[in-house]
Structure 1
């Protein structure tokens, strides 16, 4: 019998483990704005090592990590960044690169696997002869895994190819690697190999890895020195931040080894949903910890389904007007997955047999996962 809440809204909802809390309580700290916090320094050194980069910087959020990275590379107003039309930076980060940084986005269509066609990336690069009229291309951004494309993984070979395009045109490459550890585990390729071609990478510690707070930016020493200044400008410089870095260190140490189980459970969840006649799931598209499914019965809306599931202690969020996204994390067990599947099937039947009860929810407003 499941008594706890089964929270499938996102992998951002995890609670700190006992080991994380103990590490936070025992952390050796000092003023990190002054560069003196030993726990922050240790964690940043470890992340630089794992990613194969020269230096790293802890920041409060993934949005800030991406914003800082873009602004370091695009330090001249009128700069342009090429990125996917379905990317997190473009859709879910409040347009910060434009509103704060004056950076113009040039979108290229994301394929279902999260990639952008190489020829379309090349075609999006502005020719120097048009500098009088057009923004100047300075950066290409990739996302790995790609959340809106279902948690798809970008291969090292594809990233290398984009890196070569960037290099040959005098551009930089940034990877939004919020869930890069999920990609590494799913592909069986070390993180440092996946990001070898990148000039900078953002890594979220509070998503799949389960830390309570924070992301890390990695890159060259010169890049990180500039990033530190922007972090301070944006209000992200924190004092005894070792308390947070201690939990992040534990998350990297303890949770990476559990990601394969998250991916396995996501596949089990997808297989189970496929057996429920009211839903459509492409099980072959489940590569990491996310499961997207479509609701094929017009009498069932995502809002209705979420409301009934919540009554059974299962939390979920719509992905669109007729679709749902469920996300597995390390605090979801095998029995939680089975309980959730039972609840989803029963919830659908309850809606269909008592549809009048839910008519007030058909006003066309649909919440969604908002980039979590």
Structure 2
């Protein structure tokens, strides 16, 4: 099967497996794991922050950030389609006791003026704004990139109101590669950031959160409270080091595959691409076929391609390390077959 459901399905490389086997380890709760320390120092340097902390998932990293930055009963401003709001199980309310204030963005990017208008707290009837959350690239908007310049405008609003900014940068590396800019161009405009090691970078487990030393000290305690304190975690840090040092630049290959596939979809009747493809996510609109996204995904599966129904008539296709150009060409052939022989009739 050609698996285009997500870049989370990537399998670790042989080199990652070897480094896991060779990793020098120690109890990380005691901060005795040298391989984990190396990963966290590397990540902090790449992200331009004082310190970094390994967490078991992007969701855990985002939630720790909310827990550190916010107090009970506060509010966070985020984009209405953001991962924190839509796909983290209501954790901000369940764990942090805060409420989200979702606002509409343009292809996932919020406008600084809209954010400023949403900031609240002087009226006793209102929740107090405690945090602004960004997402880059934006999953639900089709992997779109928010430029550092746009992030700067939001950061300046946040500074005026003395608010922290957290970046869900699960696919920040994709944004950096797409714009050919270092990650620090983006992270200079946020207080804290989370990046995922186990999506396009191919590591088996984990994410990184980064920020000031004070933030990381508090985050470490919240990680422990959430059950994220690990012991001989160097076996997980070792592939993470490979992910950050050897797997970032190659993301451009995934982007090219996604853009090529989008061009093939554009050429087919009854199919269209919902968003311009900027990175590794293709949102395919199947509404003109008369099928739902779930029905279309079943047809794809019958023909050897796995994809995700993402909205009633939107199918998401995600390119990644384990999808070759041959796989993408075969996927395009399957789409042509479905349109000409099955859906067309």
TM bracket (short chain): over 0.9
1:201 aligned partner: 193
1:288 aligned partner: 279
Pairing of 1:221-300 with structure 2 (within 5 A): 221-281=213-273, 285-300=276-291
Pairing of 1:1-372 with structure 2 (within 5 A): 5-74=1-70, 76-112=71-107, 114-128=108-122, 130=123, 132-281=124-273, 285-352=276-343
Q: Secondary structure at the match of 2:194?
A: strand
Could you list the per-position Cα deviations for residues 234-277 of structure 1 after superposition, in whole angstroms to 9, with x for gaps in the alignment? 01111111111111111122211211111111110000111111
Aligned-partner Cα distance in 1 for 2:73–2:254: 42
Q: Which runs of 5+ in 1 are unaligned?
A: 355-372
Aligned-partner Cα distance in 2 for 1:296–1:174: 36
Any conservation in 2 of the 1:150–1:290 contact (CA below 8 Å)? yes
Aligned residues: 345
Any conservation in 2 of the 1:278–1:348 contact (CA below 8 Å)? yes
Q: Secondary structure at the match of 1:304?
A: helix
Any conservation in 2 of the 1:51–1:218 contact (CA below 8 Å)? yes
Could you list the per-position Cα deviations for residues 116-169 of structure 1 after superposition, in whole angstroms to 9, with x for gaps in the alignment? 1211101111142x1x22211121010000111111111111111111111110
Aligned-partner Cα distance in 2 for 1:254–1:190: 15
TM-score (structure 2 length as normaliser): 0.97
What is the alpha-carbon root mean square deviation over aligned residues?
1.3
Aligned-partner Cα distance in 2 for 1:127–1:296: 43
Q: Secondary structure at the match of 1:153?
A: coil
Runs (4+) of structure 1 exceeding 4 A deviation are none
Any conservation in 2 of the 1:305–1:348 contact (CA below 8 Å)? no
Aligned-partner Cα distance in 1 for 2:227–2:53: 14
Could you list the per-position Cα deviations for residues 196-253 of structure 1 after superposition, in whole angstroms to 9, with x for gaps in the alignment? 0211000011111111110000000010000000000001111111111111111122
Q: Which runs of 5+ in 2 are unaligned?
A: none
